[in-house]
Amino acid sequence: MNDLPTILIVDDTRTNIQLLAGCLKKDYRLKIAMNGQRCLELARTAPLPDLILLDVVMPEMDGYEVCRKLKANPHTQHVPIIFVTGRDSDDEEEYGLQLGAVDYITKPIRPAIVTARVSTQIMLKQKSDELRNMALHDQLTQLYNRHFLIEAANQKVAESIRHSNPLSILMIDIDHFKLVNDQFGHQAGDSVLQAVAKVLAESNRKEDVVARFGGEEFVALFEHCSIESAEEKAEMLRGKIERLMPAGIPVTASFGVAELRPNEESFEQLLARADEAVYRAKELGRNRVVP
């Protein structure tokens, strides 16, 4: 039952909430806010809403203002909003839609219409989540892909510079992976990539970003992490991969480690240094961590 889509109902009038909840509680998990401020809080709290039903006329902050704030925040801008309001003029409806709402339902509430329109928007939200997910993840390993990594990295670099927090990167390249394919076949190679990816994914904190960067190359980004701690993590991961023996195949990897320098603004520069470190690790005999 935990998989039910979540709907956030926002209305300052109890009877309206009860009416809406009555139509929706069977098929959705409901969250309730009785004012705009509370809506903004709940919109960012797990379980995140898949849809917001938003009243317009409320004291302090009206629904239009709430909508503007939700759309201006990267954490909430993708949550679809349906206005549910007694204001039924064309101008108001047009205004609500211009603010980015996906639909506009007028009171008095007609349960069958609410249910049908909600169900359509929930279906669209699930489809777009699925597409977003596919666009940001690597299909073979389910890690983030290079596209996501670069977006996230640029943000983290900016944050790290702004708050003077250390930011470290690992670049991980599987050793002689071509030989794995040649000796055991491409499918076995794929399972090795999946097994290594699993080790990398399981060993990291939620706020770390681990991505498949290319064929047999992975990148991990650690916030609030100095190069010394990053080296320790890398050494721990190197050992885990060496002991892994996926499908009985011996696998090792070479690690390049780098920390963002205060004068170094771009992710590309950080990445380039990690890449050079991997190259040195290969030259020094592979299966090692090089800062």
Query: Residues in the site for ligand GH3, rule: CB under 6 A?
Result: 140, 173-178, 181, 186, 189-190, 193, 215-216, 282, 286
* Least distance to ligand GH3, CB of residue 217, Å: 8
* Least distance to ligand GH3, CB of residue 182, Å: 9
Distance between CA atoms of 154 and 267, rounded to whole angstroms? 6
* Least distance to Mg ion, CB of residue 13, Å: 5
| Among ligand GH3, Mg ion, none, residue 80 binds (CB under 5-8 Å by kind) | none
Angstrom CA distances, 268 to 146, 154, 206, 284, stand at 13, 9, 23, 24
| Among ligand GH3, Mg ion, none, residue 178 binds (CB under 5-8 Å by kind) | ligand GH3
Tokens of 73: 């925040």
Residue 236: CB atoms within 10 A of its CB come to 13
Judged by CB, which is closer to ligand GH3: 48, or 201?
A: 201
Distance between CA atoms of 270 and 276, rounded to whole angstroms? 10
Nearest partner of 37 among 13, 63, 73, 72, judged by Cα: 63
Instruction: State the pairing for strand pair 51-54/81-85.
Output: parallel
| Among ligand GH3, Mg ion, none, residue 57 binds (CB under 5-8 Å by kind) | Mg ion
Give the range of 21-29, 34-42, 174-182, 199-207 binding Mg ion by CB under 5 A. Answer: 174-182
Distance between CA atoms of 37 and 225, rounded to whole angstroms? 35
Angstrom CA distances, 229 to 160, 225, 240, stand at 16, 6, 17
* Least distance to Mg ion, CB of residue 175, Å: 6
| Among Mg ion, ligand GH3, none, residue 235 binds (CB under 5-8 Å by kind) | none
Is 267 a binding residue for Mg ion by CB under 5 A? The answer is: no
Tokens of 253: 């990897």
| Among Mg ion, ligand GH3, none, residue 181 binds (CB under 5-8 Å by kind) | ligand GH3
Judged by CB, which is closer to Mg ion: 120, or 183?
A: 183
* Least distance to ligand GH3, CB of residue 49, Å: 37
Judged by CB, which is closer to ligand GH3: 58, or 244?
A: 244
**What is the dihedral angle through the alpha carbons of 84, 123, 33, 76, rounded to the nearest 10 degrees?**
-110
Using the rule CB under 5 A, which residue among 50, 138, 173, 231 binds Mg ion? 173
| Among ligand GH3, Mg ion, none, residue 276 binds (CB under 5-8 Å by kind) | none
The partner residues of 167 in beta bridges, in order of sequence, read 223
C-beta of residue 36 within 8 angstroms of C-beta of residue 58: yes
Any idea how long the chain is? 291
Residues 53 to 82 in contact with Mg ion, rule: CB under 5 A: 55, 57-58
List active site positions: 216
Judged by CB, which is closer to ligand GH3: 253, or 270?
A: 253
* Least distance to ligand GH3, CB of residue 139, Å: 10
The partner residues of 81 in beta bridges, in order of sequence, read 52
